[in-house]
């Protein structure tokens, strides 16, 4: 299955995309994680992307298209993938369609997880991430067993640089202006599946899997 996870920052896209990718046995492709790894490695892409990311702006489309094209060409994407954080603009969505059409493929479903702005601000200011295995935590809803250490790999957890309240507000504005129009774009294509993003991780996952079972074998 070829899936896209869409929603505001802090909607739970990363968490749910991870669970769905495990369940379906296809890779989760988080463009944010790929960019953060490139920033940490001081790779060319990371140097170009860092200032945009730190301010809560989007990284330019041409860089994102090249990144996604290269990742989708890898053999592990042959059976499907879960895109988490891409596309975020209409030109990105159209470019993805063109890439897939060239391979006679298409997106099977777009999982849109919606949550209110205040929930986003609260969730992200309490978020901690593992720079090692990319596991995600929330100090209230899903705390690590040991303070500041990843349950999965023991790496010290960090707060993302862009999870400060001012940057979260900028990211929400960017989301509304640039990314929200994709809801109509995918609705018109008949592939949009909307899920409320407030509830337990397990309940939201169950709701998403129910939606996906209508699309195909999951």
The strand pairing partners of 5, in sequence order, are 84, 111
Residue 172 contacts ligand AMP per CB under 6 A: no
CB 199 within 8 A of CB 10: no
What's the rounded Cα separation, in Å, for the pair 54 and 167? 8
Residue nearest to ligand AMP (CB): 32
Distance from the first to the final alpha carbon of the chain: 8
CB 34 within 8 A of CB 84: no
Q: Shortest gap between Cβ of 77 and ligand AMP (angstroms)?
A: 16
CA distances from 152 to 131, 133, 169 (A): 12, 8, 31
Residues 52-91 as x/- pattern, contact with ligand AMP by CB under 6 A: xx--xxxx----x--------------------xxxx---
- Binding positions for ligand AMP, 85-144, rule CB under 6 A: 85-88, 92
Catalytic residue among 36, 123, 127, 193: 127
Task: Tell me the two tokens of residue 17.
Answer: 């995309």
Catalytic residue among 23, 50, 71, 160: 160
Nearer to ligand AMP (CB atom), residue 52 or residue 151: 52
The strand pairing partners of 58, in sequence order, are none
Respond yes or no: is residue 145 known to be catalytic: no
Nearer to ligand AMP (CB atom), residue 162 or residue 193: 162
Residue 35 contacts ligand AMP per CB under 6 A: yes
> How crowded is residue 181: how many other Cβ atoms within 10 Å of its Cβ?
12
Respond yes or no: is residue 71 known to be catalytic: no
* Site of interaction with ligand AMP (CB under 6 A): 9, 31-32, 35, 52-53, 56-59, 64, 85-88, 92, 162, 171
């Amino acid at each position: 299955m070829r899936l896209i996870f869409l929603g505001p920052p802090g909607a739970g896209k990363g968490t749910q995309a991870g669970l769905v990718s495990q369940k379906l046995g296809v890779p989760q492709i988080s463009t944010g994680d790929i960019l953060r790894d490139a920033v940490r490695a001081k790779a060319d892409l990371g140097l170009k992307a860092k200032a945009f990311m730190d301010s809560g702006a989007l990284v330019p489309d041409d860089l994102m298209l090249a990144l996604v094209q290269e990742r989708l060409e890898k053999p592990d994407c042959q059976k499907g993938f879960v895109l988490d954080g891409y596309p975020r603009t209409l030109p990105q969505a159209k470019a993805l369609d063109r890439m897939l059409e060239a391979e006679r493929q298409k997106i099977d479903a777009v999982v849109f997880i919606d949550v209110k702005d205040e929930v986003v601000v609260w969730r992200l200011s309490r978020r901690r991430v593992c720079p090692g295995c990319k596991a995600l935590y929330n100090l209230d809803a899903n705390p690590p067993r040991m303070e500041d250490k990843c349950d999965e790999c023991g790496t010290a957890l960090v707060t993302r640089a862009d999870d400060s309240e001012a940057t979260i507000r900028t990211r929400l504005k960017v989301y509304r202006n640039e990314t929200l129009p994709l809801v109509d774009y995918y609705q018109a294509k008949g592939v949009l599946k909307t899920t409320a993003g407030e509830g337990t991780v397990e309940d939201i996952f169950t709701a998403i899997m129910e939606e996906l079972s209508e699309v195909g074998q999951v």
